[in-house]
Chains A and B, each alone.
Chain A
Amino acid sequence: MSQQLIITLISGIFISGVAGYLGTLMLSKKMSVVAGPLAHLAFPGAALALVFGFNIFLGVFPFVIIGAIIIWILEKKTKLPLENLAAIIFAGGVGSALLFLPIEKAEEALVGNIMNITLVEALVVIILSIIVFYVINKLYQKMILMNINEDLAIIEGTNVSLYNLLYLLSIAVVVALGVYLVGGLITAALIAVPAASAKNISRGLFFYKISAIIFGIVSTIAGIFVSLFFNLSAGPMIIVCGVMLFLFSIVFRRQVI
């Protein structure tokens, strides 16, 4: 196994593990649909980075943060359904990106470059993944209680706005990392698909979290190896593997419920 492949695999494992974990929280908040538009909102950032020649992650991160906060504020102000707001953000992101993004370079923003990741980039990915994982883990129980009933969470001593902010920041970091590594298209899938598969086969929270992380990691490892074997693009293959696992999870679903 080449050194490049090892770096790719390790980065992929970290990003898909944390994305799967975050996905379970987003799915429980009915927010997993938001990951897609946020990832697409990263396009203008990627466009700027490509045009001016700086690192895509640095271009993407502020846009995703701003997008997440815009969605958060719009939801509070307008009380429109999240998926509706997400559609607006999605259109805005892609539309403005297409104005600036050189079309021949668009592919990198769409499907990422996980096979070419450098050692330094991998270290950044690993460190950020660990930090975000830790934060999500700290937030998790309280966020679930906030989803069920915000008043109860306050009585249990939760600082709701602080938790919401940390939650949005976590989403922004994961989406930005995901766009950089595997592209906007695949990031949304990395967040939404493992959680959905895990939900199919879980009765309780612990198993739900663990199985989503495992589904995410397995689809990434499988996607990378299968794409190498058939000489195909890694990112899209990761999605295909994730969706295959989802189909398997449907088969097992009946036995759980």
Chain B
Amino acid sequence: MNKILLEVKNLNVVLDNERIIENLSFQAVEGEILTILGPNGAGKSVLLRTLLGFLPYEGSIVWNQKLKVGYLPQGLNQLKVKDLPLTVWDFFVLKNPIPKKDEIIQFLNLVGLEKEILYKVAGHLSGGQFQRMLVAWVLISHPHILFFDEPTTGIDIGGGETIYSLLHTISKKENLTLFLVTHDLNIVYKYSNNVLCLNRKGHSCLGSPKEILSPENLEQLFGTEIKFYEHH
């Protein structure tokens, strides 16, 4: 049994007078993949950003170890950099410390990109290429805990699968703890150890994918009937 890495107790987050997260308590153990699932506006991204320390909160968030964090924010795409004269290489040079070129190429290959992309303008990449580059950008710092907020937005089906299986492999190999926000139930089922569900009414639930992804639970969570077929 891995040791407990994170303990959250009675977490409340209020933004602009609106209570986004209400009395949330859960634990995460080292090396697990915890998926945060829920409808739009349920506070998934807010929870990630609160755990990262970007937002004010009430209650307690206790990290039992101080570890290096990697974060892939939601909605960061190639359009955000399209007005900048910034190549992929430049984008990696924004990191602190600046990674070595060999290592950058190695990580680009890892996410399925060729080294030629280094000299392309970041804003001219396709959505999927940019997202893969971001994954490499985050992983290259060798973080111990990853916060990925919908990391495969804009990536085609096969590509998304590649990135998740890559994350899965890396997290196994390096005993990474991964906090993941995704809407892709197949991915949740296949790769998560635990699922934390949040809905807009402040209810939450925590359990294995098998428990959480039952049709009744999903209907309660998303407020509409969702059929999810298990694949074996």
Contacts and interface: CB of A to CB of B under 8 A. Distances in A.
Given A151-B71, A152-B73, A155-B71, A28 B94 contact: no
A207 interface: yes
Contacts of B119: 203-204
Interface stretch (B57-65, B79-87, B191-199, B208-216): B79-87
Contacts of A198: 85
A208 B85 contact: yes
A145 interface: yes
B96 A156 contact: yes
Contacts of A149: 73, 76, 80
A142 B93 CA distance: 10
Interface string B77-119: 0001101111101100111100000000000000000000001
Contact of B86 (A154, A156, A205): A205
B93 A154 contact: no
A131 B198 CA distance: 51
10 contacts: A28-B84, A141-B93, A142-B94, A142-B96, A151-B54, A151-B73, A203-B119, A204-B86, A205-B90, A205-B93
A30 B81 CA distance: 12
A199 interface: yes
B69 interface: yes
A199 B73 CA distance: 27
A72 B52 CA distance: 25
A204 B52 contact: no
Contacts of B49: 151
Contact of B95 (A148, A156, A204): A156
Contacts of A148: 76, 80-81, 84, 94
Given A147-B84, A151-B54, A152-B73, 5 more contacts: A148-B80, A148-B94, A156-B95, A203-B119, A204-B86
Interface string A133-175: 0000000011011011101101111100000000000000000
Given A141-B94, A148-B80, A149-B73, A154 B54 contact: yes
Interface residues of A, number: 25
Residue among B52, B70, B81, B86 with most chain A CB within 10 A? B86
Interface residues of B, number: 23
Nearest to A144: B94
A113 interface: no
Contacts of A151: 49, 52, 54, 71, 73
Q: Lowest 9 A-B CB distances belong to which pairs?
A: A202-B85, A208-B85, A204-B87, A205-B90, A145-B94, A156-B96, A141-B94, A149-B76, A155-B71
A155 B52 contact: yes
B206 interface: no
A142 B83 CA distance: 17
A195 to B, nearest CB: 10
B51 interface: no
Nearest to A143: B94
Contacts of A141: 93-94, 96
Contacts of B11: none
Contact of A204 (B76, B83, B89, B94): B89
B185 interface: no
Contacts of A145: 94
Interface string A202-214: 1111111000000
A37 B134 CA distance: 37
B85 A204 contact: yes
Interface in B11-63: 49, 52, 54
